[in-house]
A and B are shown apart, each in its own frame.
Chain A
Amino acid sequence: MIEFKNVSKSFGSTVALNDVSIVFPRGKIIGLFGPNGAGKSTSIKLIMGLNRPDRGEVRVDGENPQNKKQDVAYLPEIDHLYPWMNIAQAADFTRTFYADWDEDKYQELIKFLNLQEDMKISKISKGQRAKTKLLLTVSRRAPYLLMDEPLSGIDILTREEIINTLIRDYREGEQTIIISTHEIAEVESLVDEVIFLDRGQVKLSGNAEDLRVARNMSLVELMKEAFRNAD
């Protein structure tokens, strides 16, 4: 379980998170939704230990995130792989650091995603780079998978491939996936729980199905409603 207790985080005068308390339940797919600047990426980075809270605390299974990197797979929005590597070299580099690397899954996924091991990262398209990042992240059997805007700037067909990969490999009850995105429609069918963030605060959270039934709205409509009221 991942827990935020009264977490605040600012970057200079910009408040990214303001006294936020959230519980990300284990074994679910959780959508972290909100407009740009809502605090989604900061939340993901705090879980990954790439940021530290100014106040409050973040716990991953009761521990400091800095000590749980072994259990968390992270897919950032930006291209973070070494451009001179090819896919095989990037996979070899990643597998050295993680005991949960699943070689069979990697071999299966590389075919499923139409990638080739000799593809050089600096030479491939943006969609292929997104798929490569996904390949390296999902080839691990990590208990936690954090995805920061995995569909941003990706064409519709690649988006479908990414979502199908997630559905295909998700281990319900065992793995917790947190997807941060503002492309809610694309992942609506995927998420079990939702957290809507706005200007560093939680606007709405709960079970996706319960919220849909209770308000008779899709998640996209719910977000519009929540942010319209916020203004």
Chain B
Amino acid sequence: MQTSSLKKFFKLYSKEMRELRPEILVVLIATMVLNLLFYFKAQELPAMIIVPSMMMLGLAGFLPFISSFKLLGREWNSNTIYLLLSLPVKGGSILGSKLLALLSQYLIGTAVVTAGGVILTFLLFPEPGLAETLRQAQASGIDTRLQTIISSGGLFYLMSLVGMAYVIAISFFSQLLGKLVTRFSGLVTAIVFIATFWLMGKLMTPIWQQVGNYSQLHMNQYNFSIAALNQLVGMNTLIMLAGTIIVFIAAVLVYNHKIEL
């Protein structure tokens, strides 16, 4: 029976998610432990409530990048690259499933940490409550409409997600180039990573500057507009997405045409 390409992709994806299970559990358990610890200690230092969430957000945001080296490098270390390369699928599926799994790890991690932070806040500060907090914020001039919160927050989060995809794509590209040499593979990976990051930065910075100049025409400290800010974040996200796609395609081409055993 012929299996669809989508089914093959999701089989690869579920394998990658299984490989990432320990890291996801680490974030989950660490968030619970830290939040519990701060919950019981918060009476002494209520201002410290932000600390566990910030610490865990750093971990949840950084781990997928570290895992990207594990996820690809382990295929060579454990010889499973023989299995991967003999499968009737191209590099797009192999690297795409890994990228999607790492982004899922980022989504799960940040969602767990955010949920933990929100729960901790409401447990420690049941008063004045969500409705009253929003009312106070509105009174001080902050736009608290749900639509605004979702669009701005969502856009910033999307930008962070694309940023994660960007560094993962560079990580894949540099690791694959590192695998092309038999000696000093790690050193080549590190050099290619830094060089690609620098080069892509050089390519994207002028475009970012153009977008920034355009936005300043419509927004300054006296004339702040959520819509203009969203537009700026959205444009920057799109530029970064284009950079991610370029680096990812380069990584797929190296995988398809250069990688050998």
Contact = CB atoms under 8 A, between A and B. Distances in A.
Interface of A: 11-12, 45, 48-52, 69-70, 72, 74, 76, 78-84, 93, 96-99, 101
Nearest to B18: A84
A12 B182 contact: yes
A167 B160 CA distance: 57
A96 B3 contact: yes
A96 B11 contact: yes
A97 B79 contact: no
B15 A82 contact: yes
Interface stretch (B36-44, B82-90, B218-226, B235-243): B82-90
A96 B8 contact: yes
Interface string B159-190: 00000000000000000000000100000000
A227 to B, nearest CB: 27
Say whether chain A's binding surface is mostly helix, strand, loop, or mixed.
Answer: loop
A59 B18 CA distance: 37
A106 B88 CA distance: 20
A50 B260 contact: yes
Q: Which 3 A-B pairs have the closest CB atoms?
A: A80-B82, A69-B88, A70-B88
B19 to A, nearest CB: 8
A80 B2 contact: no
Contact of B88 (A12, A51, A78, A98): A98
B86 A48 contact: yes
A74 to B, nearest CB: 5
Given A51-B261, A69-B87, A97-B87, A81 B80 contact: yes
Given A12-B182, A50-B261, A52-B260, A97 B89 contact: yes
Contacts of B85: 49-50
B81 to A, nearest CB: 8
Contacts of B139: none
A76 B88 contact: no
B78 interface: yes
B217 interface: no
Residue among A11, A93, A97, A101 with max Cβ neighbours from chain B (10 Å): A97
B86 A69 contact: yes
B119 to A, nearest CB: 33
Interface string B124-154: 0000000000000000000000000000000
A81 B11 contact: no
B80 A80 contact: yes
Interface in B1-29: 1-3, 7-8, 11, 15, 18-19
A99 B7 CA distance: 12
B96 to A, nearest CB: 15
B244 to A, nearest CB: 26
Given A80-B80, A82-B15, A74 B86 contact: yes
Contact of B83 (A11, A81, A96): A81
B1 A50 contact: no
Contacts of B82: 50, 74, 76, 78, 80
A52 to B, nearest CB: 6
A198 B80 CA distance: 29
A185 to B, nearest CB: 27
Nearest to A101: B1
A51 B260 contact: yes
Contacts of A93: 11, 15
B132 to A, nearest CB: 50
